[in-house]
Structure 1
Amino acid sequence: MSTPQPPVPQPPAPQQPAPQWQGAPGVSYTSPIPVVRTHLGHALASEWTKIKSVRSTMWTLGIFLVLVVGIGFLVATQTDDASFTDVPFTIPAFFGLVLGQICLITLGVLVVSSEYGTGMIRTTFTASPQRHRVLTAKLLIFFAVAFVVSAVAIGVVGLFTQSLHSDTTGNEWGGTVLKGALYVSLLGVLSLAVGSMLRHSAGAITAMLGLVLVPAILPAFLLFSDSMRKIGEKMLDYNAPNSLAKIFGLDNEAGGGNAQLGLLAGVTAAAIVGAFVLLERRDV
């Protein structure tokens, strides 16, 4: 009986390269899905769609217009020609802006904090991974909307007041429209930056209301102390209501609130820088 021989190992068969699709000569594949390089314009279009489609925008801007225009018309009807001999015709709009600025503060916070509250910010950053582009678009769109609405409201009040006192030659009031709208719009942008940093609607709105109301109330107590008098006087000069009063010429001082407007612009710029830094450093 013969001993079985072990099987002789066979060398592995050489692997054949996978067949490649050979198209017709001169024909290349084109994807049916258009590939477009994203840019800031896409983020602007997205944020514009958001801000015009949510109810909070319509409610806050609607209440803002009712306050500024409604109160402005009511005040204007109670004035006479002697009231505008040396002041602009936009003075009645000031009384509505003192309250209306709260609407822009609220809307500024909600533009960004509402997405964090609902979790939709994850979808936004997934669609646009460059976060700084999203925040830039929010800031630009909100500022444009707030400035246009504010300027229109102040201008309408000015035109209405001028029509009631057509025989009176008041001061030029075009500058008060631009500076008044710029001031309250910057307050709204500051609120947006604070909302981006805090990521909480109630907390950011409370912080902004404190920033607006505390400097208007605290000087009444600080002025009683000699050591704190200078601080109280500075707060009195630069709080939001008095800043608007200077812009509209209620104090008859030179400068027309330019110093107050510059301070707000500086604080807003610092808050925007902080918002961009924290946006890149923190997780969603």
Structure 2
Amino acid sequence: MNTTTTHGGRTVPPRTVPDTPGRRTPGGFAGAVASEWTKLCSVRAACLCLLAGLAITGVFTFYSASIARINGHPVQPVGNAAAASAVISQFAVVILAMVAVTSEYSTGSVRAALLWVPRRHRVQAAKALVAAVVAFLGGAVFAVVGTAVAWGAFDGRASFDAGTTLGQILAIGVYQALVAVLTVGVAFATRHPAGALSVLVMLLWGLPSVLLGLGGDRLAAVNDRLPHGAGDHFMRVGADAPYTSATAVLIVAAWATAAHLTGLYVLRRRDA
């Protein structure tokens, strides 16, 4: 503005803020994503979770491949060992995505986040997207390291095909990304780390273990409709699956979508 104001009988020129051409503050969903990316990269928990997942994958794949070699199991694709390790390494992704949500509720900083981005669905979607991208990249790295470790531990008891192995690496990354989205939804629904972790451990490990431990075709069919049961069929090659890989991905995606919508409902209905 070019007008002046009067104060105490004096004419005071207005303050002006010089414009900076070409410089814009990101807003909308892009700004929310940038904010969530900055917050996730600024804490050590994310790096620690990824390092823990890497270590778990290395240990598990070495153990799994060694057992298969010692017991003379049939030759299988080397990527199956890395796919099997996802049953444990997925919890590194779970904790990473869970902390991104529940830490803000425990500190109260979620109120500031919702003030900066008033449309709550953008906040949740941004967290889910950032967590999914990190989980996909982390899962792919887990798979590469696990495959390399397993190849040495198998000592000739595994087959290697570049196309198949690359497909499994990408499949493991996709599964970990969907687990991250699932976790963000559950975390927004429960708002507490203990509650979220309890739900996710039961859904991704406890319930499948019980169903497979009890045995029977009906219980196995139920497990095939759970997130990790379907994900295992998607990541593993050569297993006798009751449906196609595309169906398996859709099952995991349906669980992630249901959790996301549940978390969004709670986020909109309850105060931060």
Which TM-score applies when normalising by structure 2? 0.79
1:190 maps to 182
Shift of 1:114: 1.3
Contact kept in structure 2, 1:113 and 1:196, CA below 8 Å? yes
Which residue of 113, 117, 121 maps to 1:132?
A: 121
Contact kept in structure 2, 1:72 and 1:96, CA below 8 Å? yes
What are the ranges of 5 or more consecutive residues in structure 2 without an aligned counterpart? 1-5
1:238 maps to 225
Which TM-score applies when normalising by structure 1? 0.76
Q: Secondary structure of the equivalent of 1:251?
A: coil
Contact kept in structure 2, 1:216 and 1:240, CA below 8 Å? no
Contact kept in structure 2, 1:216 and 1:235, CA below 8 Å? no
Aligned counterparts, 1:189-268, within 5 A: 189-212=181-204, 213-221=206-214, 223=216, 230=218, 232-240=219-227, 242-246=229-233, 247-249=235-237, 251-253=239-241, 257-268=245-256
Q: Does 1:158 align with 2:147?
A: yes
- Cα–Cα, structure 1 residues 282 and 254, in superposed 2: closer, same or farther, change >3 Å? closer
2-structure distance, mates of 1:118, 1:22 = 44
Shift of 1:74: 4.6
What are the ranges of 5 or more consecutive residues in structure 1 without an aligned counterpart? 1-17, 224-228
Q: Does 1:269 align with 2:257?
A: yes
Aligned length: 257
Which is richer in helix?
Answer: 2
Look up the equivalent residue of 1:200 and give its one-letter code. H
Contact kept in structure 1, 2:136 and 2:173, CA below 8 Å? yes
Q: Does 1:141 align with 2:130?
A: yes
Aligned identity (percent) is 25
Look up the equivalent residue of 1:170 and give its one-letter code. F
- Between 1:211-220 and 1:262-271, the stretch displaced more is 211-220
Shift of 1:160: 4.9
1:31 maps to 17
Which residue of 32, 57, 62 maps to 2:51?
A: 62
1:91 maps to 80
Shift of 1:135: 1.4
- CA deviation vs aligned residue, 1:64-121 (integer Å, no higher than 9, x gap): 11011332245446666x9685x32212213422211122122222211111111111
**CA-based RMSD:** 3.4
Contact kept in structure 2, 1:84 and 1:170, CA below 8 Å? no
Max Rg structure: 1
Q: Does 1:40 align with 2:29?
A: yes
- Cα–Cα, structure 1 residues 93 and 256, in superposed 2: closer, same or farther, change >3 Å? farther
- Between 1:41-50 and 1:112-121, the stretch displaced more is 41-50
